[in-house]
Amino acid sequence: MNSYEKLIRILKRFGDPPYEMGITELSKEMGVSKSGIHKIIRSLVRESLLVQNPSTRKYSLGPLVFRLGNVYSDSKGIWDVSHTIMHSLADRTGASVLIGIREGDDPILAYKLGIGDKYIYQGQTGSRFPFNAGALGKLLTAFLPEDRIRRILKTRNIEKKTPYTETDPEKLMEEYWKIKKQGYAVSIEENLIGAFGMAAPIRDRHGNVWACLSLVGPKETFTPDVVDLWLSLLRNGADEISSRLGFRGV
């Protein structure tokens, strides 16, 4: 692994929990000498890609990453076209409203919105979602080409987040096929105990699914009537965002 690859791995590592790490922790986790880690960290701090917490002496992502993230977000335009819809959904359902995007093959939480003292999803913006648990992660994975899905299931660790998380590759393939066919995903306590989630696809002007709209709320509030209402609101919201992004239907 050359210096460039080490730098990229270190920078990407801070995008997942724990979001603050020291040189010794990074060295052990990555199998790179502390002197090598320190040299790269020093360069990243100098460029404001990382900052050091003076109290813990540990490092986390810096202000330049935040600025670059905003530039990326603005260029995609999804926040501009979706935030009014997200506010409306949060107000009408009392749930947290999430926007997920796909980074390579990874489902990422791009935006989240909750209102007042209603249900607030605690996941951190920018964090990865499991590809096998949670409506957001499953939906974005389901719309990948089949060969890429099978490669993910074959090469990656399939983590069991809760007792209700599916980890069998063939059963997951069946669920991905079902999600793609019906056009939405549902999750009951798969990624978080006590939570229920739904997700619907957002399409770009070419019809490609690269993002999704999701609702997450407490499991105990759900009745069949609530589920039907949420699904209708969610799909209408995702379709409206897709339309604003230039999608004109198949």
- Residue 72 lies inside a defined structural domain of this protein: no
Residue 59 and residue 110 in one domain: no
Residue 24 and residue 108 in one domain: no
Instruction: Provide the CATH number for the domain around residue 13.
Output: 1.10.10.10
Residue 171 and residue 224 in one domain: yes
Q: How confident is the model over 41-53, as pLDDT tens digits?
A: 999 999 989 999 8
Q: Please, which pLDDT band fits residue 123 given cuts at 50, 70 and 90? A: confident
Residue 226 and residue 121 in one domain: yes
Residue 28 and residue 88 in one domain: no
pLDDT of residue 67: 74
Residue 15 and residue 106 in one domain: no
- Residue 249 lies inside a defined structural domain of this protein: no
- Residue 71 lies inside a defined structural domain of this protein: no
Which tokens sit at 68?
């670059």
What's the chain's average pLDDT? 89
Residue 238, classified by CB atoms within 10 Å of its CB into exposed (0-12), middle (13-18) or buried (19+), is: buried
Last residue of a domain, one of 18, 41, 66: 66
- Number of domains making up the chain: 2
The boundaries of the domain holding residue 163 are 77-244
pLDDT of residue 117: 56
Residue 88 and residue 46 in one domain: no
pLDDT(102) > 70: yes
Q: How confident is the model over 197-225, as pLDDT tens digits?
A: 999 999 988 888 989 999 998 888 778 88
- Residue 250 lies inside a defined structural domain of this protein: no
pLDDT(1) > 60: yes
Residue 60 and residue 81 in one domain: no
pLDDT of residue 171: 97
pLDDT of residue 72: 61
Residue 173 and residue 223 in one domain: yes
Residue 27 and residue 142 in one domain: no
CA distance 216 to 231: 12
Residue 140 and residue 49 in one domain: no
Instruction: Provide the CATH number for the domain around residue 149.
Output: 3.30.450.40
Residue 138 and residue 43 in one domain: no
Mean pLDDT of 18-43: 91
